[in-house]
């Protein structure tokens, strides 16, 4: 299986258009070509990955507002070389968040209906609160499929498991409190035995998720915030990381110390918010993550499993 991180940042990207936090400032520094070490942080596009079985076609997992430039990253691949192809066997949505779904509208030139896989809850949100599916009807259309707990798609065995009960903001008045809004995905390539688990919106790290992580060769994990009160502390938001359905990295019950103990061969952070100090070169927080044996995801990172 080939996995490509198309975008490693959370919603807003890195740097974000209206943000001047220390990280965004570091991402805007001149490139420093003549210095031995650059203090510039690498820019990141918004949260999405692509996955391909060793003998299959590509699956797009989440469709970010940066999908157009992200797909150019896959240009060299065979599936992208025919005149007017649809290089994806399907598009899987882990939730209905704006940063994970807005790319659908940018794929409207498709010559066939987009094959979209999501939970029924997400489908309903995308036909009512944020009606992307309805909007696409007069363009390429959407052929929707329900994400089943276990399914085989494009040569990959996929398991779907609950991750978060946090609704997208645009649905917060229209939801029951116990509903599952975000899921995680485990992909297994039978031909190679490679297993990937993808959890961009991890609200808690319970035993069943830890077991799943330890049974995977690589995990792509929610790295949204370093601190729970990261946005309120910078004066740029009122909600804590936990209130947004994202377990922060730091602290005794944060994800970093728990991930550090897991035996998974590769642990990579994704969906990293621009305020997270791990994005700043040489920051103490970045060094702490690396010292814990955890990688910080970046656009274009390819993983073969």
Interface residues with ligand MLT (CB under 6 A)? 10-11, 97-99, 169, 201, 244-245
Strands 114-118 and 88-92: parallel
Number of residues that bind Mn ion (CB under 5 A): 4
User: Cβ closer to ligand MLT: 86 or 102?
Assistant: 102
Supply the minimum distance, in Å, between the C-beta of residue 149 and ligand MLT.
23
Residues 22-41 touching Zn ion, rule: CB under 5 A, are: 24
E strands, the chain, are: 2-7, 48-52, 58-61, 88-92, 114-118, 142-146, 150-153, 156-164, 182-189, 195-199, 218-222, 266-270, 295-296, 302-304
Supply the minimum distance, in Å, between the C-beta of residue 245 and ligand MLT.
6
Binding status of residue 99 toward Mn ion by CB under 5 A: yes
DSSP assignment of 217-246 equals: SEEEEE---SSTTHHHHHTS-S--TGGGT-
Name the residue whose CB lies closest to ligand MLT.
Answer: 11
Q: Which residue has the tokens 């790295």?
A: 223
Residues 242-281 touching Zn ion, rule: CB under 5 A, are: 274
Binding status of residue 97 toward Mn ion by CB under 5 A: yes
User: Cβ closer to ligand MLT: 99 or 285?
Assistant: 99
Supply the minimum distance, in Å, between the C-beta of residue 282 and ligand MLT.
27
Binding status of residue 10 toward Zn ion by CB under 5 A: no
Residue 49 burial (10 A CB sphere; 0-12, 13-18, 19+)? buried
Binding status of residue 11 toward Mn ion by CB under 5 A: yes
Binding status of residue 19 toward Zn ion by CB under 5 A: yes
CA angle 194, 200, 206 (to 5 degrees): 80
User: Cβ closer to Mn ion: 11 or 194?
Assistant: 11
Residue 106 burial (10 A CB sphere; 0-12, 13-18, 19+)? middle
- Tokens representing 249 are 């990295």
Supply the minimum distance, in Å, between the C-beta of residue 283 and Mn ion.
22
Using CB under 5 A, list all residues that contact Zn ion: 19, 21, 24, 274
Using CB under 5 A, list all residues that contact Mn ion: 10-11, 97, 99
């Amino acid at each position: 299986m080939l996995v490509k991180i198309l975008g490693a940042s959370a919603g807003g990207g890195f740097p974000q258009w209206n943000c001047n936090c220390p990280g965004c400032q570091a991402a805007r520094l001149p490139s420093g070509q003549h210095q031995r070490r650059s203090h510039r942080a690498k820019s990141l596009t918004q949260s999405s990955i692509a996955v391909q079985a060793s003998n299959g076609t590509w699956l797009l997992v989440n469709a970010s507002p940066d999908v157009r430039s992200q797909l150019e990253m896959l240009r060299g691949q065979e599936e992208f070389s025919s005149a007017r192809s649809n290089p994806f066997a399907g598009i899987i949505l882990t939730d209905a968040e704006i940063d994970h779904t807005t790319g659908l509208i940018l794929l409207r030139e498709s010559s066939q209906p987009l094959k979209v896989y999501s939970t029924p809850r997400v489908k309903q949100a995308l036909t009512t609160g944020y009606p992307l599916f309805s909007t696409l009807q007069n363009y390429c259309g959407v052929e929707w499929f329900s994400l089943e707990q276990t399914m085989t798609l494009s040569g990959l065995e996929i398991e779907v498991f609950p991750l978060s009960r946090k609704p997208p903001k645009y649905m917060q008045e229209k939801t029951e409190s116990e509903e599952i809004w975000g899921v995680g995905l485990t992909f297994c390539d039978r031909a190679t035995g490679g297993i990937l688990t993808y959890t961009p919106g991890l609200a808690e790290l319970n035993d069943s998720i830890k077991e799943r992580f330890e049974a995977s060769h690589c995990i792509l994990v929610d790295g949204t915030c370093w601190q729970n009160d990261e946005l309120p502390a910078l004066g740029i938001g009122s909600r804590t990381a936990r209130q947004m359905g994202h377990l922060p990295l730091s602290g005794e019950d944060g994800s970093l110390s728990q991930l550090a103990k897991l035996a998974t061969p590769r642990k990579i952070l994704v969906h990293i918010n621009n305020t997270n100090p791990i994005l700043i070169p040489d920051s103490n927080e970045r060094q702490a993550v690396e010292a814990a044996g955890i990688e910080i995801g970046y656009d274009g990172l390819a993983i073969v499993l």
